[in-house]
Structure 1
Amino acid sequence: MRTPASPPERSTMTTAPAVEAVRVSEKLGYLAANFGNIILSTVIGSFLLIYLTDQVGLGAAAVGTLLLVARIVDGATDPIAGFVIDHLPRTRWGRFRSYLLIGGGIGAIAFAALFVVPGMAGPALVAAWITYLIWGLAFDLMDIPLNALLPAMSGSPRTRGQLAAIKGATYLGGTVVVIAVTLPVVTLLGGGALAWQVYAVIVALVSFALTATGALLVRERVVPSTPAPYHFSDMRALFLSSRAVPVLLTSKVATSAANAALMAGIPFFFTYYVGEAGLVSAVALVMAAPMLAGSLVGPSLGHRVGFKPVYLLSLIVAVLGIGSILLLPDRGGAVYLLCFAITGLGFGGAVALNYALLAELTDFVEVKGGFRTEGTLAAIGSFAAKAGAGIGGALVAYVLALTGYVPGTEQTSAARSGIALAQAGVPASLVLIGGLVFLSYPITKRVAEQTRTALAAKEELR
């Protein structure tokens, strides 16, 4: 990787001034696009496992292997997808908006197929593998351009913090809404596999409408000064130039796995451990306010003291909340709802700060290497989220299978203990791993300020 003092002649990458304020309509559009994104991934993360086991009839271990292998294989292609998106022709809409619109349509179709095809075509396990792999590839086309938009919409740290807060709050709010309404709506539609399939089609249509709205309303301001900022061979140097990229990637894998395990465990925990399936919707509502508070306060506080310490603090709060479930066996729904509320506060801050950290890392990489890589870094983040989702979902499925979970019946004592372990022990352990890794993250508040100063100096010389 080249140093800022001697950037390559082919690409002295700088960014155009980006001081124009982001309008309220753009922020609303950005909110809409992120909401359209998260409702798809939340339905899959929270309900695909129980749909495939309880409705389609697949074994928990078989589904766990599917979630793990397919997501990692799919995620491994994300850096290539990010490189391609970084080098796609710039349209009159900018570098990412038009591809977000196209990807939103493809992703919505693939999402609906993931629920419809395995429930209607056999063999079901083969159909699930095929549609899940297609879904992962299709989701890249909407997820990577969306994540690349944040650093492209504004160069202002304060505005980026606001956009990260919007993104985090929307993701968390979307998660809450999906968890709260999914089972009641499926029941209203008649229950059973067909009801799930109709629900999936409805969600897909809503997602595309929201994504299209966002693509139409937002605007890109930070643009590279050359159309081809870097070559494919530079990606390895990008990853190895500083520990910032691998540390953030590894930490995000762990925390994404924790979040996936947390969400996947909720239907099993409240249905079979607590014995009150109605609390699946209640837990979403209980987590809503703390999640929102964390997603708003986290980036704001991070702007003042640095994103790194606030991110670590958020992870500590999440561990305390979800880990408490293991220390409080058979205490009833109200106690567990309080544990989830505390967990929501921690995850709210961590999720929002993830996007602020990624935008900060984009600037850091530009100073280090002389080229701008929103698409590739967004793809690395997408890979981390996918790998984490696969690991978290698979761990929940494997724990259930190993401890004797049987769908639709009263669970044995061992199975109930396994459900509690899957719901609390797995995500708490993963958050701890993510936090320990993140301790070595090198971009402190001081480094971030030095990075912005260096970019401003390069802009003056351009």
Structure 2
Amino acid sequence: MARGIVMLKSICVKNPDAITLRDCFGATALSTVNGLCTVFMSSMFMQYMTDYAGLGAMGATLATSLLLFARIFDAVDDPVQGLLMDRGKRTKIGKYKPFFLLSILLTGIGCVCLYSFPSEFVSKPVLVVVWVVVFYFLFDVGTSFYKDNLLFRTMTNDLNERSKLVIGPRVWTMILGVVTSAFTAVLVAVNERVGNYHDSFAILITVIVGAAMVLSLIGWFLVKEKHSVQEEKAESVKFKDFFLLFKENKPMVVYYLKCVFSGFIWSLIFATPAYYIKWGFCTDLATGVTDMEQYGVLNGISSMMMLVPLLFGAVIGRPLLKLFKNNPIKMTCFLLIVQSVGGVVLFITQMAGLLTNIPALFFITLFIMAVGVGSDFVPQSMVEMEIMDYNIYKTGKDRSALTMVVGSFIVKAQAALSAAIIGAVLMAIGYNVDPVTSEYMGELSQIPTMLNWFIVIMGLVPAILGVLSALILRAYPIKNDERRKIRECLDRCSAG
């Protein structure tokens, strides 16, 4: 009888690695300010500098130079920040949570100040440069400390449970993206009262980002670290460990080599639609006058056509993975081909002269590409955490933050290079927009050429990169048998 009671109790014991509703909500809320500010920076920074800050061509030059220099800064700063995080002491609130608190504050403050550029500085180039550089790097350092998969890996060792954590923040970020797709329309409405697009932009950004910071702080209080690898004091993290990763962690090398190419697909797609829509669909090429109301509507539709499938893709990511027998690499390869097909469609229809006459074709093609990108998020997140696990399994050392440094640097470098490409096109044609009326003031005859280059950037180039990325992933070494051994190793090494 006693033996039966003991057996019954053992059956009823909950999985200690199970993820709760509180964990999911906390992880989701925590992502708010990073996700929202990243959307703002990737989709609006260049346009703000050229159209709303009152800097014109100088704005394009400054933004392009800053984004490129920032990646040089990241090449040194990101490994240092990863080193600091791996060296962090285990406290009552966890090893990594203090860095996430710092991330929330730096990211939010930096973003608000960047989009609240004082109009009095326009005539003073030195002050312009100082203001933009200081607050951009504040934002950049903040986002570098936000390494979500690093935190999620410490919350559970169960691969299936980890997938629950990554979906919430992804879906929430996509929802925020859908909401911000109405930004231009709301900006126009606010400007009816303010009467100046520069000031209206600053007011709107401050309100939105301020609310996001509050929600992220709530999430920060809710999440809890459960597993951190116990290491001897002699095994302190050293800077050379970052370089050893490239020798000892083959899965990391293969995966991030693929990301060097595939990451541009996302960056290039989102860097150009606002410009293409504004000058391809909403501007009278004879006068340079833009219908801002139509632009607000079409830009909102464009964002919806991209972000809704990203949201949908994140939701179906887990069940879709089952169709590929839980093999994240095979699923990613298939989705890369889907993205490539979308890019080819964009390029061919633009060169045939169809795209500017049929906005629906433009939107549908973006939808196809976004479905491919959105569905790929779950398998990619699983691989990123698997890379961290693999390093512990092979070396007995937890260098999880350092493994994420490579990925975060690649993502930011791609975003910067994408923006730099756009900036180069804008500078080449003498791009100039009135910050008050948002009307084009440059050479109108250059707009068709500019539109062709935008489609090369967001269509042809991503198509080529998608195929190359799929070929590289064929060399990924981890198979299912080794995944089981990795899990056994983690259960022995981690502390609950």
Contact conserved, 1:177 with 1:284, CA < 8 A, in 2?
no
Residue in 1 aligned with 2:237? 231
Write the distance in 1 (CA, Å) between the matches of 2:69 and 2:334: 32
Cα deviation, residue 348, structure 1: 0.3
Write the distance in 2 (CA, Å) between the matches of 1:259 and 1:449: 32
Instruction: Specify whether residues 170 and 438 from structure 1 end up closer, same or farther in structure 2 by C-alpha distance, changes over 3 A only.
Output: farther
Q: After the TM superposition, which residues 10-159 of structure 1 pair with which residues of structure 2 at under 5 Å, given as runs? A: 19-56=16-53, 57-59=55-57, 60-117=60-117, 119-121=119-121, 122-123=124-125, 124-141=128-145, 143-144=146-147, 146-159=148-161
Matched, 1:310 2:311: no
Contact conserved, 1:100 with 1:215, CA < 8 A, in 2?
yes
Write the distance in 2 (CA, Å) between the matches of 1:441 and 1:177: 37
Matched, 1:284 2:300: no
Write the distance in 1 (CA, Å) between the matches of 2:204 and 2:179: 14
Contact conserved, 2:114 with 2:135, CA < 8 A, in 1?
yes
Write the distance in 2 (CA, Å) between the matches of 1:75 and 1:355: 23
Between 1:435-444 and 1:30-39, the stretch displaced more is 435-444
Contact conserved, 1:251 with 1:434, CA < 8 A, in 2?
yes
Contact conserved, 2:105 with 2:142, CA < 8 A, in 1?
no
Contact conserved, 1:299 with 1:356, CA < 8 A, in 2?
no
Residue in 1 aligned with 2:407? 381
Cα deviation, residue 201, structure 1: 1.5
1:75-125 deviation line (CA, Å, top 9, x unaligned) = 541121011012122221111223312321122111112222365533234
Contact conserved, 1:257 with 1:393, CA < 8 A, in 2?
no
Instruction: Specify whether residues 174 and 381 from structure 1 end up closer, same or farther in structure 2 by C-alpha distance, changes over 3 A only.
Output: farther
Cα deviation, residue 406, structure 1: 4.6
Amino acid at match of 2:379: L
Contact conserved, 2:245 with 2:403, CA < 8 A, in 1?
no
Instruction: Specify whether residues 221 and 161 from structure 1 end up closer, same or farther in structure 2 by C-alpha distance, changes over 3 A only.
Output: same
Contact conserved, 1:400 with 1:418, CA < 8 A, in 2?
no
Q: Structure 1 regions of 5+ residues with no counterpart?
A: 1-16
Cα deviation, residue 362, structure 1: 0.9
Write the distance in 2 (CA, Å) between the matches of 1:461 and 1:65: 46
Contact conserved, 2:343 with 2:462, CA < 8 A, in 1?
yes
Residue in 2 aligned with 1:166? 168
SS in 2 for 1:173: helix
Write the distance in 2 (CA, Å) between the matches of 1:461 and 1:44: 38
Instruction: Specify whether residues 401 and 243 from structure 1 end up closer, same or farther in structure 2 by C-alpha distance, changes over 3 A only.
Output: farther
Residue in 2 aligned with 1:442? 477
Write the distance in 2 (CA, Å) between the matches of 1:349 and 1:156: 21
Cα deviation, residue 267, structure 1: 0.8
Residue in 1 aligned with 2:448? 413
Write the distance in 1 (CA, Å) between the matches of 2:130 and 2:52: 16
> How many pairs align?
442
Write the distance in 2 (CA, Å) between the matches of 1:292 and 1:377: 27
Between 1:408-417 and 1:377-386, the stretch displaced more is 408-417
Amino acid at match of 1:306: N
Amino acid at match of 1:33: L
SS in 1 for 2:117: helix
Q: Say which of 338, 347, 372 aligns to 2:364.
A: 338
Amino acid at match of 1:21: A
What RMSD, in angstroms, separates the aligned Cα atoms of the two structures? 2.7
Between 1:444-453 and 1:239-248, the stretch displaced more is 444-453
Instruction: Specify whether residues 45 and 353 from structure 1 end up closer, same or farther in structure 2 by C-alpha distance, changes over 3 A only.
Output: same
Contact conserved, 1:396 with 1:426, CA < 8 A, in 2?
no
Amino acid at match of 1:70: A
Write the distance in 2 (CA, Å) between the matches of 1:106 and 1:194: 23
1:422-459 deviation line (CA, Å, top 9, x unaligned) = 33234434444443433322234443234224444x45
Q: Higher Cα Rg: structure 1 or 2?
A: 2
Residue in 2 aligned with 1:188? 189
Write the distance in 2 (CA, Å) between the matches of 1:182 and 1:460: 45
Residue in 2 aligned with 1:8? none
Amino acid at match of 1:392: S
Cα deviation, residue 224, structure 1: 1.6
Contact conserved, 1:307 with 1:357, CA < 8 A, in 2?
yes
Residue in 2 aligned with 1:218? 223
1:376-418 deviation line (CA, Å, top 9, x unaligned) = 2233322222112112221222234345655442553212212
Write the distance in 1 (CA, Å) between the matches of 2:415 and 2:39: 10
Amino acid at match of 2:472: V
Contact conserved, 2:276 with 2:454, CA < 8 A, in 1?
yes
Write the distance in 2 (CA, Å) between the matches of 1:434 and 1:205: 38
Cα deviation, residue 215, structure 1: 0.8
TM-score with structure 2 length normalisation?
0.82
Write the distance in 2 (CA, Å) between the matches of 1:449 and 1:318: 32
Q: Say which of 388, 396, 400 aligns to 1:362.
A: 388
Instruction: Specify whether residues 386 and 18 from structure 1 end up closer, same or farther in structure 2 by C-alpha distance, changes over 3 A only.
Output: farther
1:192-248 deviation line (CA, Å, top 9, x unaligned) = 111121222123212211211111111111122237554213222122213322232
1:29-51 deviation line (CA, Å, top 9, x unaligned) = 11111232110011010000111
Residue in 2 aligned with 1:4? none
Write the distance in 1 (CA, Å) between the matches of 2:421 and 2:338: 22
Instruction: Specify whether residues 264 and 246 from structure 1 end up closer, same or farther in structure 2 by C-alpha distance, changes over 3 A only.
Output: same
SS in 2 for 1:439: helix
Write the distance in 2 (CA, Å) between the matches of 1:328 and 1:437: 29
Instruction: Specify whether residues 157 and 339 from structure 1 end up closer, same or farther in structure 2 by C-alpha distance, changes over 3 A only.
Output: same
Cα deviation, residue 326, structure 1: 1.1
Write the distance in 1 (CA, Å) between the matches of 2:494 and 2:95: 24
Q: After the TM superposition, which residues 196-275 of structure 1 pair with which residues of structure 2 at under 5 Å, given as runs? A: 196-226=201-231, 230-232=236-238, 233-275=240-282
Contact conserved, 1:40 with 1:203, CA < 8 A, in 2?
no
Write the distance in 2 (CA, Å) between the matches of 1:61 and 1:433: 31
Contact conserved, 1:256 with 1:388, CA < 8 A, in 2?
yes
Contact conserved, 2:33 with 2:212, CA < 8 A, in 1?
yes
Cα deviation, residue 126, structure 1: 4.6
Amino acid at match of 2:406: I
Instruction: Specify whether residues 279 and 40 from structure 1 end up closer, same or farther in structure 2 by C-alpha distance, changes over 3 A only.
Output: same
